[in-house]
Structures are given as C-alpha cells and as structure tokens.
Amino acid sequence: MRAFLAVALVAVASLASACRAEIGDACRRSTDCSLQGERSCDLSNRIGGQGECIIEGCSRTSCPDEAKCVKTYGTDFLSVACDPDREDKAAVAADGTVLEPLNSCLPHEVCLGEGLCADEVSARTTCRRACKSNDDCRGGYTCRLTGSDGVYQQPDADNQAPHRQVKICQPV
C-alpha cells in the first residue's frame, strides 16, 4: 500500500509540474499559472476576461527561458520632465564647459529614457513573455520594445544602465 501511495504521489507531482503554464499564458486565477504559487495571474490588463501568467519580484536572471524581467513604473504619475543624460550627473557642453547636474526628480525617483521622473519605490518588476514578432504573443497582445511608456528591462546588478530594450508581449 505504501509503495502504491508513493508511486501515486510521484505521478501527481510530475503531472502538476508538466502542466505548469508558461509566462504570458492566459489565466483567470493564480492557480491557472502554478499550483506551487511561484507564478501568479496578473489581471490588470484583462483581454477577453483573462489576465496573464507572470512572476512577481524578478531579477534580470531569474525569469524562465520564455520571459524577460521588466520594471514597470506607474504611468499615471509620469508628469515631471527631466533630462536622462543630465539628471544627477554633470555633463560637458560642446565648448568644454562643465554643466552642473540637474536635479528635477525627487530622491526616490529615477529619470526615465523618455524624459520623465518615475517613482522607484512603487515600480514593479515582473517576468513577462519575451517575443520576436507578434506571432509569439497571444491574441490581444502585440510584440513591442521596452524603453517607453514606463516599461523597461530590469537592469542587472553588475550594470545599472536603465535604458536597455527587449521585446515583450504587451496588451494592445
């Protein structure tokens, strides 16, 4: 009886892991993405009543092969203009004059590539479906480059350059 129970548990465990949804798959609840809880269902951009499977709190190297880690800033609050080339750093003008650093953003904000200050504290990092073309994305999603609209690739710990671009599936 114990041997039968052990075999049954192994079979159920392997079946559960084999059926795990990939990042970007459609979902209605987090258990559609994973029974172990490491993936969740993001319902913030529902397409046809369904969200997408994601992993919250990722780092540049922690996402599965089908995904990239991106940092999303709340676009509702992107209103203060800044210069990404001069925010918090000095620059040299064409005539050799040293220009003082600009300080348009608050201490808890970062100057995004599109020239707007964004709140670093409320930014959210998630694994999102990587793509090469629209064919890699499910219906209602399009393959777009990060680097605008408050969506950026998460910098890695060794290189904090914030303006790298990757392609991910994003709602239309």
**What are the tens digits of pLDDT across the range 106-140?**
999 999 888 999 999 999 999 999 999 999 999 99
Domain contains 156: yes
**70 DSSP 8-state letter:** E
Full domain range(s) for residue 28:
2-73+123-171
pTM over 0.85: no
The structural domain count of the chain equals 1
| Sequence-ordered list of residues with C-beta below 8 angstroms from that of 55, at least 6 positions apart, any chain | 23, 38, 39, 40, 62, 63, 64, 67, 126, 127
CA dihedral 144, 155, 129, 53 (to 10 degrees): -130
Asked if the structure places residue 53 within a domain, the reply is: yes
Is residue 61 in a domain? yes
| pLDDT tens sequence across 12-68 | 444 444 467 999 999 999 999 999 989 999 998 898 899 999 999 998 889 999 999
Residue 164: exposure state from Cβ atoms within 10 A (0-12, 13-18, ≥19): middle
Dump the DSSP string for 52-68.
EEEEES--TT-S-TTEE
139 within a domain of the structure (yes/no): yes
Flag whether pLDDT at 11 surpasses 70.
no
Q: Look up residue 75 and give its amino acid.
A: T
Residue 102 lies in a domain: no
Q: Is residue 84 part of a domain?
A: no
Residue 149 has pLDDT above 60, yes or no: yes
